[in-house]
Structure 1
Amino acid sequence: MRNWPLFDLSITTPLLELRLPSLDDLDELADRATEGVHEAGFMPFFFPWTDAEPAERARSTLQYHFRAWGSLAPEKWSIDFVVVYDGQIVGTQGITATSFAVTREVGTGSWLGQRFQGKGIGTEMRRAVLHLAFAGLGARYATTEAFEDNNPSLAVTRKLGYQEDGITVHDRQGRPAVTRRFRLAREEWAESPGFEIHNLAACLPLLGLPG
């Protein structure tokens, strides 16, 4: 799309393709949300969007991406990729920033359909957006945060070399819950072979960077 080059942006890895979703991609992503993202009785998200009926989870998945498209600006942006594995949409991986041209700092967030977990996909999709951040956008830092009982997310974070950066206490469904914050500096990032960014240059002005 000539006037929205982000739709041409993608990242490929040995296992995955991350791309801005088409409407059909979003429909398939919504199917993953209806199938389930985590075990019952556990809430890994700050906003408990998965605590809903399957049809409502599907709608909220679509609406989240529509809002991200509509609110993207150079001063504050969120790029939310769908993750393609073996020809299927299996989850979503986001990268966000505020005043990136000044801060050179990004955050990440993701979810993966429950039946696709435990295959190394979560680690590789995080590696992909770190490659975009550091190799493509020139970030200095990447941050992430997860509840201290979200062991899969914490395992990915530690595997990729992040350093602990403090804690935050949240109201999680009416109860206090601690999250652990992490930070990865560019100097501590290990580039992985076989990761490629496609069609980034035309997107840079939308992210507050020179084209």
Structure 2
Amino acid sequence: MELADIFPPIGLRVEAGPLVLRPITDELLPALVELSMRGIHDPDAMPFFYPWTNAPVEDQPLNYARFHWGVRSNWNRDLWDLEFAVEHEGRLVGCQGFMTGSYLVTRTGETGSWLGREFQGRGIGTEMRQAICAFVFDHLDAEEITSAAYTDNPASNAVSRKVGYQPNGVLRKTRRLGEWHPSQQWVLTRETFVRGPELTVTGVEAFRRFIGLDQDGPATDS
């Protein structure tokens, strides 16, 4: 028995042109920690709703590992978070996620990502978003996908516009302790989606059964 037989998200792999979305295993965590600690954003800025990069430098490696261990241990069909490590032309560049609750009913969820600063400004963030959205629409039967970013995060909001998300209101969201900032909400449908390269996907049949989309049939790759 392989780990992917026990926990099918580990068996997923999504390829889109020069981009590969691969499962975050324990073997990959040290490299992701090193990448994140080389910098994701300007120290004076905070693009994340949960300010995890504000933690003391000595705490960040274990905090990051705990987050991904928690994603696995807390997984259930009513609330799950699919997290991928992203490689571009063979180099590790960041992470791309899709988070959802009651997916079998709502057929929606929210994208979230981070990209190492050394790889920003090259269109990779757009490619990452196109890949995860194509995967969720085409292979997981999603009907819409949401995203959000603070209004002072022009890069993330620009990616949403490029991929075809439509504005969906502005909310007040907390940021650092005692601080809030307007958050632009976005929604994407199949009709407005601006696609990237065609996908090659591995492990999706077992994953569909795991989340309850399919109940029967053999586990094969596509």
Q: Output the TM-score relative to the length of structure 1.
A: 0.95
Once superposed, what is the RMSD of the aligned Cα atoms?
1.3
5 Å-filtered alignment, 1:1-211, equals 1=3, 2-173=5-176, 174-211=178-215
Structure 1 match to 2:219 = none
> Displacement, 1:82?
0.4
- Percent identity, aligned pairs only, is 34
Give the stretch that moved more between structures: 125-134 or 81-90.
81-90
Cα distance in 1 for partners of 2:28, 2:122 equals 21
Provide, for residues 170-198 of structure 1, a one-character-per-residue CA deviation record: whole Å limited to 9, x for no partner.
22222220000000112222343332221
Q: Distance in 1 between matches of 2:53 and 2:197?
A: 35
Across the two proteins, how many residue pairs are aligned to each other?
211
One-letter amino acid of the counterpart of residue 109, structure 2: V
Q: 1:193 to 1:90 in 2, by over 3 A?
A: closer
Q: Is the CA contact 1:7–1:20 (under 8 Å) kept in the aligned structure 2?
A: yes
Q: Tell me the amino acid that sits aligned with residue 40 of structure 2.
A: V
**What is the CA distance between 1:148 and its match in structure 2?**
0.2
- Given that 2:16 and 2:198 are in contact with CA atoms closer than 8 Å, whether structure 1 keeps it comes out as yes
CA shift for structure 1 position 206? 2.3
- Contact kept? 2:127, 2:196, Cα under 8 Å: no
Q: Distance in 2 between matches of 1:88 and 1:63?
A: 24
Higher deviation after alignment, 139-148 or 89-98: 89-98
What secondary structure is seen at the aligned counterpart in 2 of 1:80?
strand
- How far off its partner does 1:55 sit? 3.0
Deviation at 1:133, TM superposition (A): 0.9
Contact 2:146/2:188 (<8 A) preserved: yes
* CA apart distance, 1:204: 1.2
Deviates more, 1:64-73 or 1:167-176: 167-176
- Deviation, structure 1 residue 26: 1.1
Task: Determine the C-alpha separation between the residues in 2 that align with 1:11 and 1:105.
Answer: 19
Given the two structures, how large is their TM-score scaled by the length of structure 2?
0.91
C-alpha distance in 1, partners of 2:59/2:40?
A: 14
> Which runs of structure 1 show a deviation greater than 4 angstroms over 4 or more consecutive aligned residues?
none
Structure 1 residue 15 displacement after superposition = 1.6
Question: Contact between 1:75 and 1:208, CA under 8 Å: does it hold in 2?
Answer: no
